[in-house]
Amino acid sequence: MKAQVRGRVEYLPTYAAMQAFTAERTGATPDELWLCEHSPVFTQGLAGRAEHVLDPGPIPVIPTNRGGQVTYHGPGQVVAYPLVDLQRAGYYVKEYVYRIEEAAIRTLLHFGVTGHRVAGAPGIYVRLADPSSHEMLPPAPERDAERFGGLGKIAALGIKVSRHCTYHGIALNVDMDLQPFERIHPCGYAGLKTVDLSTIGVSTTWNEAAGVLGQKLVALLASREQ
């Protein structure tokens, strides 16, 4: 897999390019990883509901064919799009999602932060009171307000698989304006707090974070035969 740092690109042309790449690829097409930063945009997944978009204001809301619900992309966020042939790689979608989340967890660890998974809520979360804590999360209650008590979401996940090939991906919040997340129910969860590396005390650049995340994704998404 080859990582491409594409930098600041608009969302819609990138979405179209991912679809075209996936539709045109053959069994011999090498996998790619696109590392991007987008202008402000809300994207709505296939499971998204209109009531989760509270007040978009001037920020466009774009329907997509990825899984999940509504999220926000904006400057200061690393958006990684792995374009992987899962059939050739030798693992299934569930493991693919695990590997992507693991790449985000290992990226956070590089910066001294412990990332956590929450059962039934894809993405990566951190303890707001102690972002470096390795303590396991307690079993998640059913009610969302309790499920996310003391947690902030730092990475959102949404994927699409077509003919065994993936697109869309994961977004890691680095140093961004978080106010737009208050205009939605992030990923469909009312009251879910969203954070970035900056707000939990980590000072880094977009380029550095993109480089680390890219390295982790390339290593973890390699085929079983490599």
The CA distance from 15 to 17, in Å, is 5
Query: Letter for the amino acid at 25?
Result: R
The CA distance from 32 to 16, in Å, is 15
Query: 35: which DSSP letter?
Result: E
Q: Catalytic: 36?
A: no
Structure tokens at 62: 């774009």
Specify whether the CB–CB gap between 31 and 99 falls below 8 A: no
Placement of tokens 């890691």 in the chain: 172
The residue from 187, 195, 210, 213 that is catalytic is 187
Number of other residues whose CB lies within 10 A of the CB of residue 50: 8
- 56 CB-side CA count, 13 A: 18
Q: Which residues pair with 184 in a beta bridge?
A: 53
Q: Which residues are catalytic?
A: 187
